[in-house]
Structure 1
Amino acid sequence: MPVPSDLSVTRDTASRRRYRFGPWLALASLLSVLTVGLALAYWVWQPATLRIAVGPAGSDDQTLVAAIAKAFDGKTVDAKGGSVRLVPVESDGTLQSLNLLGAGKTDLAVARGDLTMPPDTNSVAILRRNFVVLWAPTGRKGTPKSKVTEIAALSGRRIGIVGLGDGNLNLLRVILGESGVNPQKVMTSQFGTDRIAEMTQDGTLDAFMMVGALDDKVIAETIAATTRLRGDPKFLSVDVSEAIAERHPLYKSEEIPAGAFAATPQRPDDKIETIAVNHLIVAPSSLSEDAVAAFTRELFAIRPSLAKDLPGASHIQKPDTDKDAALPAHPGAAAFIDGNERSFMDKYSDYIWGAVLLLSGIGSVAAWLRHYLRREERSQNAQHRDRLLTAITSVREANSVDDLASMQSAADDILRETLACHEDGAIEDGDLAAFGLVLAQFHQAIIDRRAVIARTDDTEKPAKPGGAVLQQVPISTAAR
């Protein structure tokens, strides 16, 4: 009896199906996981690069910012995982620095706190506090003494101001107005820092004004120069400094200590009340909180080492974090200063869970795709199982051991393909169990049919002469 065609299957089919999708899907899944993981790690740990506008060239501000940038480059990633690269962008001065910031061409800017800031600008750090220094020469020996001994006496006088922008001029007007002097009755002349010698030699000037740090050598040298040419200075006290600070929150009431500009002779000889304004690093509120927090943290970490080579670095202070401050601190800087920085999980837990969900989704899609691509294999496996079940009837009707052997061989091929499909994930454990039940019935039918064929062969063999019957063992049974 020929082998039923429904049991026919080629061994190449099993091999092709087994290796068609499994390894490639596993490799694709692994590469997807690695790609997402590497992208997330790169995004989290890459250094933040911040551009900072500062100028003019050769100024103390530019020198300090260049030193900060160099220190940042030599600093490794800190314990909190933050790292910042600072790229100075040269400008003509604080006004251009703020214009660059407002245009989005820089991330940070160095500027004085009383200048007009771009919208939504926050403070990041105070580089120093600038003090207003007003003085009038008293006249040399043999010349008439100056009548300018207080700010009220400046009406109708001419003042030389160091600085070409509107910042110092506007500040002088505020001081004059709050001191009861009409600013319109005070004449002013502005000089750049490269024209200080010209200013000190101008005999038409009745007083001088400069704004800067107390340890600024330029201020001390300018006072010394006017002293040599015009006599000892009379420092003018801003007696209404507290009222000014109350009405103009960007200004602070401060005192210039005795001997701030010279020790011998002591200048001034006593403390002087005045106005101060912060010189700041500012940033837009839209700048990343994490980047600003990392910048602020590293700035104050390197401050002690910077101060060894640049004494001006010792003036760096933390900004005012009060919510009602005239110029609010950036949320990132405030978080560092107030100790409210978010932990790694606080910052990135949403992204981590998002990545987990994304990977889970990728896995689900891959599983669905794998299941979809193997739908033909599952269908064929079900057909093989049904054929094997149908073949049990053919086994019971087989007339020779050779037919049984052929059917057994075909069943082995089906088993081989089924096991390969299960290993490759095309069929589930339940499908394999159902197939195993049918296969067991098939094997039992083979065994039973072999026994029947063997008995039939024995009864049909002729007896030998003398009445003896030759007992023959069927080849198929012996083989079995």
Structure 2
Amino acid sequence: MSSSLERLFSRQIVDGPDLVGPAVQSVSHSRRQKLAFVVLAAILAVVGTGAAAYYFAMRPETLRIAVGPQNSDDVRVVQALTQAFSREHNSVRLRPVLTDGALGSASALADGKADLAVIRGDLDVPKSAQAVAVLRKNVVVLWVPAKPKSDSKAKKGAAKITKIVQLAGKRVGIIGRTQANVNLLKVVLQQYGVDPAKVDIVQFSTNEIAEAIKDQKVDAFLAAGPVNSKITADAIAASTREGGAPTFLAIDSAEAIAQNHPMYEASEIPAGVFGGAPARPDDEVKTISFSHHIVARKDLSEHVVSAFTRQLFAIRQTVMNDFPLAAKIETPDTDKDAAIPVHPGAAAYVDGEEKTFLDRYSDYIWWSLMGASALGSIGAWFAGYLRKDERTNNSSLRERLLDMIAMARKSDSVDQLDAMQAEADTILRDTLSCFENGAIEEGTLTAFNIALEQFHNAVADRKALLAAAPPSPPRANVQLLAGGG
């Protein structure tokens, strides 16, 4: 309550102690304390709500990423990324989910067991998958190992394999146990009119390559991996015998294959990329390539994917010091006709259209403020409605006080005036209680104070008048005598 309003109620009546001032001051102090507590509680509630909202919005998000097989380069790169994200306290963390290969990783994503997955682009991509990044690009390498000079077939002038069409009736060894590489070879053979059924296809694990080459179990090899793959380079090096260099088979119809199979691209193997003297290969070789992608579930938050993509390319330089394969990580194809559609979150990062915190939550903040304002208005109306009876009762008491002013001016009894003053004190206490509870406004309290002051003046004037009036003479008892004379 303001100091001016306190002065209105600190008036001392003429004939007695101050009945209003101390009570009003006490009520005013109590009301200020209550208002301060309410304001403090409201501020703490707003701050707490904001802090909670910020915590839930900015807390680290852990994504499950399916990758395999175990001990592969892909797994090692993902583990390095996982450690780097955790070390840098990034907003997105990773939890690897090991699978038996790219096919198993795709299944894990499709089944909802993973949020991200490392998959091969030439395999069936789950409908729920969208591209986030290109982990690495792989080239297909087809080569024919050199024949030892002592080989009897070589002495007889056996035809040397220099073209893919010559693989009919031959044995082709595929490095790696995945069925995807077998399907890849069949695509190449069919493009050249070679019936895959007429080619003896055998698969070798990476630790069986040297023995297969030594025993001459196959006529040609196929490997699929990064251009700088150590496995492919070691296999080609093992194919060099007695100074003879292996023969690389060019896939001249790479563009046609890419047209018929969008998951493949026409590519080239650079001259000398596999080292050696003479250089292996000694000239550029046409081939096809495909990618290993990091994909995300379509329903994964755009903000989370955008943050993950940003972290991935920010940390790539650090990770590639230990894992050079990380240098091959590239941004996804954002074209609408891409083989694997890009996730909106990754596209936002690539196109520089990432949303800020306010961009993402401005609508929520706006509607929250509107909702809080509406709730406040409803609450104020409801509180006012609940105090309706209290206001009505106080209004009737104020009318009673006005009636008592007129009664006091006509009263002939000090006792009656004292009774009315006691009733006025009761009305005062009730009015102050209503004001403290918020049932009446300051203007109403001011009007009541005027009426109360007029009542006290009327009582004081009437008491003074009664005190100054001379006492009435006693009435004489007159006896009428009947018949007297």
User: How big is each residue's C-alpha offset from its partner over 1:364-387, in whole Å with a ceiling of 9 and x where there is no partner?
Assistant: 343244334434432332232122
Residue 359 of structure 1 is matched in structure 2 by: 372
Match of 1:98 in 2: 106
1:460 is displaced (CA, Å) by: 3.7
RMSD after superposition: 2.8
Question: Do residues 318 (structure 1) and 331 (structure 2) align?
Answer: yes
- CA displacement, residues 387-438 of structure 1 (integer Å, 9 cap, x when unaligned): 2122223322333556545544543443344234324322224433443343
Q: Is the 8 A contact 1:84 1:291 kept in 2?
A: yes
Q: 2:133 maps to what in 1?
A: 125
Decide whether aligned partners of structure 1 residues 380 and 154 sit closer, same or farther in structure 2, where only a CA change above 3 A counts: same
Q: Which runs of 5+ in 2 are unaligned?
A: 1-22, 474-485
Alignment counterpart, residue 114 of structure 1, candidates 118, 122, 128: 122
Match for residue 296 of structure 1?
A: 309
Rounded to whole Å, the distance in 2 between the matches of 1:438 and 1:283 is 77
Q: Is 1:371–2:380 an aligned residue pair?
A: no
Q: Which runs of 5+ in 1 are unaligned?
A: 1-10, 78-82, 463-480
* Corresponding residue SS for 1:92: coil
Cα deviation 1:276-319 (Å, max 9, x = unaligned):
10111011211110000000001001111111221111111000
TM-score (norm 1): 0.84
Structure 1 contact 54–89 (Cα < 8 Å) conserved: yes
Give the distance between the partners of 1:204 and 1:194, measured in 2 at CA.
15
Aligned twin of 1:272: 285
* CA-to-aligned-CA distance 1:64-117 (integer Å, 9 cap, x gap): 00111111112245xxxxx21111111111111111100001100011111111
Q: Supply the distance in 1 between the matched residues of 2:214 and 2:148 (Cα, whole angstroms).
A: 13
1:443 maps to 456
Aligned partner letter, 1:118: P
Please tell me whether residue 64 in structure 1 is matched to residue 77 in structure 2: yes
Distance 1:358 1:32 in 2: 15
Aligned to 2:407: 394
User: Secondary structure of 2:83's match?
Assistant: helix
Tell me which amino acid in the other structure corresponds to 2:178: G
Q: Name which of structure 1's ranges 267-276 and 370-379 shifts more when overlaid on structure 2.
A: 370-379
3-state DSSP of counterpart to 2:109: helix
Name 1:341's counterpart in structure 2: 354
Which position in structure 1 is the counterpart of 2:478? none
Contact 1:137 / 1:230 at 8 angstroms: preserved in 2?
no
Q: Which moved more, 1:302-311 or 1:350-359?
A: 350-359
Cα distance in structure 2, aligned partners of 1:171 and 1:148 = 20
Between the aligned partners of 1:435 and 1:198, the Cα distance in structure 2 is: 109
Does the C-alpha gap of structure 1 residues 318 and 89 become closer, same or farther in structure 2, counting only changes over 3 Å? same
Alignment partner of 1:227: what SS? Answer: coil
- C-alpha deviation, 1:152, in angstroms: 1.6
In the other structure, the counterpart of 2:18 is none
Residue aligning to 2:94 = 86
SS at match of 1:214: coil
Residues 245, 280 of structure 2: 8 Å contact kept? no
8 Å CA contact retained: 1:201, 1:229: no
- Aligned pairs, number: 440
Question: How far is the alpha carbon of 1:25 from its aligned partner?
Answer: 7.1
Aligned to 1:75: 88
1:354 Cα offset (Å): 2.4
Alpha-carbon distance between aligned partners in 2 of 1:43 and 1:136, rounded to the nearest angstrom: 59
Task: Report the CA distance shift for 1:199/1:416 in structure 2 as closer, same or farther (over 3 A).
Answer: farther
| Alpha carbons 1:200, 1:229 under 8 Å: kept | no
Q: 1:233-268 CA distances to partner (integer Å, 9 max, x unpaired)?
A: 111111111121222221111111111111433111
**Cα distance between partner residues in 2 of 1:377 and 1:282:** 66
Higher relative contact order (CA 8 A, sep 6+): 1
Distance 1:427-1:198 versus aligned 2 partners, 3 A rule: farther
Shift of 1:190: 1.7
Is 2:253 the partner of 1:249? no
Q: Is 1:137 aligned to 2:152, yes or no?
A: no
CA–CA separation in structure 2 for the residues paired with 1:360 and 1:163 = 66
Greater CA drift, 38-47 or 154-163: 38-47
What secondary structure is seen at the aligned counterpart in 2 of 1:39? Answer: helix
| Identity across matched positions, percent | 49
Give TM-score scaled by structure 2 length. 0.83
Which deviates more from structure 2 when the two are superposed, residues 375-384 or residues 268-277? 375-384
Distance 1:407 1:181, change over 3 A: same
**Aligned CA distance change for structure 1 residues 150 and 374 (closer, same or farther; 3 Å):** same
**Letter of the 1:150 counterpart:** K
Q: Does 1:174 align with 2:187?
A: yes
How far the C-alpha of 1:336 sits from its partner, in A, is 0.5
SS of the counterpart of 2:132? strand
**CA distance in 2 between partners of 1:375 and 1:24 (Å):** 25
